[in-house]
Structure 1
Amino acid sequence: MKNLVLLLLLVFTLSCNSGKEQLLGETEWQKQMNADFKDASKSPLKKKDLKQFKSLDFFKYDSIYRVEARLKRTPNSQWFKMKTTTDEESDERIFGVLSFQLKGKNHQLNVYQGKELMTTEGFEDYLFLPFLDDTNGETSYAGGRYVDLSIPESDTIIIDFNEAYNPYCAYNEKYSCPIVPRENYVPVKIEAGLKNYVKPEEK
């Protein structure tokens, strides 16, 4: 009798899960990215690509790409127009300079703050970290990638390149995406985060 009950529970569980597709991903961030891309109300994918979408391509999670950086704030930096992939421009300023070690070398990246987002509810502490590296045009998007950060209370901040993502224009040219400044180039291969997007019919 006990075995029969266990069998019935197993069948019930399998039948409940069979209609619910499991989200793919090695980490919670990867699973959330896939969930957002599957959601037609959030996804940047074109309709024809969304129909065939199963998962984004990620580099394998690697803790060496999660680094602690020293933040040197630049409170007197001037606002400038950051160019995008369209005619639009966004008002940005260099919030500070991030210094960190990766693969035995010292690196620096500028981290940016947007004028409009400063007054947008929920984004008051948002910092934008666009970067280029030696995977661009090979295994990652040619135009570089982004990492989202928040203003820290101290002068240190964690950069997790495992959460580096592509601009939306990598999936759909209708989007206007900030162009990564050339000075934000890291001369190493950052094999973490999202890989280059390959359309289903091109795989």
Structure 2
Amino acid sequence: MKTIYSLFFGIFLLLGCNQPKERLQGETEFQRNLNSEFKDASKSPLKKKDRRDFKALDFFKVDSAYVVQAAFRSTPDEKPFKMKTTTDRLPEYVKYGEVTFNLKGESFQLNVYRDLDLMNEEGFEDYLFLPFLDDTNGDESYGGGRYIDLKIPEGNSMTIDFNTAYNPYCAYNEKYSCPIVPRENYIDVEVRAGVKAF
């Protein structure tokens, strides 16, 4: 009887006393959320072998110099086009506007896009897609460029936080189909912010 009691008590301890959860790494909520997603087998783009030892993504140090106020100009007469991807898939996008901003003492302009399929999904009605290339690509950051998620502004300005720049999923796993950054969205400056190369 004593042995059975000990056995049940042992099982109770194992089930009832969970190990303290490992604190998610990251300087900001954006970094912690991204690391959480990459750890989660149901959401992670990582291959199983990479996820097994995954602790955290490598980020540039958060820097307020890469949080910029941009002038926004909508481009309502643009025609939809099929954006090239890393596979044969050709999703339909439309150029929604242009953002102009100063970074490192220079002025730059980038296009922002809307995914015509995604805009009909709940929660994505005001989503804007900002893919960009910069002078860190292929060295400190992913060679194919990075993405930033934005929302349609109410006025003619918006904040762009390059600290939230992230890699397309195909940077981690070739099974994904990722939009290729349009060449006109290259800025001739090092954007040492956001996610680094994997």
Q: CA deviation at 1:20?
A: 1.3
**Structure-1 separation of matches of 2:173 and 2:118:** 23
Task: Give the equivalent residue in structure 2 for 1:68.
Answer: 69
**AA partner of residue 66 (structure 1):** V
The size of the alignment, in residue pairs, is 182
C-alpha offsets along residues 98-149 of structure 1, whole Å, 9 cap, x if unaligned? 0000000000000001111111111010000000000000000000000000
The CA deviation string for residues 125-180 of structure 1, in whole angstroms up to 9 with x for no partner, is: 00000000000000000000000000011110111000000000000000000000
* Residue 162 of structure 2: aligned partner: 161
Partner deviation per Cα, 1:43-99 (whole Å, 9 max, x = no partner): 000011111100100000000100010111000101000000000011011100100
1:33 corresponding residue in structure 2:
34
Structure-to-structure mapping, 1:33-182, within 5 angstroms: 33-182=34-183
The Cα of 1:19 is off from its aligned counterpart by: 2.9
Q: What TM-score do the two structures reach when normalised by structure 2? A: 0.90
| Inter-partner Cα distance in structure 2 for 1:75 and 1:116 | 18
RMSD between aligned alpha carbons?
1.1
User: For the residues of structure 2 that align with 1:68 and 1:84, how far apart are their CA atoms?
Assistant: 29
| In 2: Cα distance, 1:105 partner to 1:74 partner | 23
CA distance in 2, matches of 1:95, 1:19: 46
Unpaired runs of at least 5, structure 2: 1-16
Question: Larger Rg: 1 or 2?
Answer: 2
**3-state DSSP class of the match of 1:162?**
helix
Q: Could you tell me which amino acid in structure 2 is paired with residue 41 of structure 1?
A: S
Unaligned runs of 5+ in 1: 1-15, 198-203
> How far apart are residue 17 of structure 1 and its match?
9.2
Kindly provide the amino acid, as one letter, of the partner of residue 21 in structure 1: E
Report the equivalent of 2:22. 21
Counterpart code for 1:70: A
Distance, in Å, in 2 between the alignment partners of 1:181 and 1:60 is 27
2:107 alignment partner AA? N
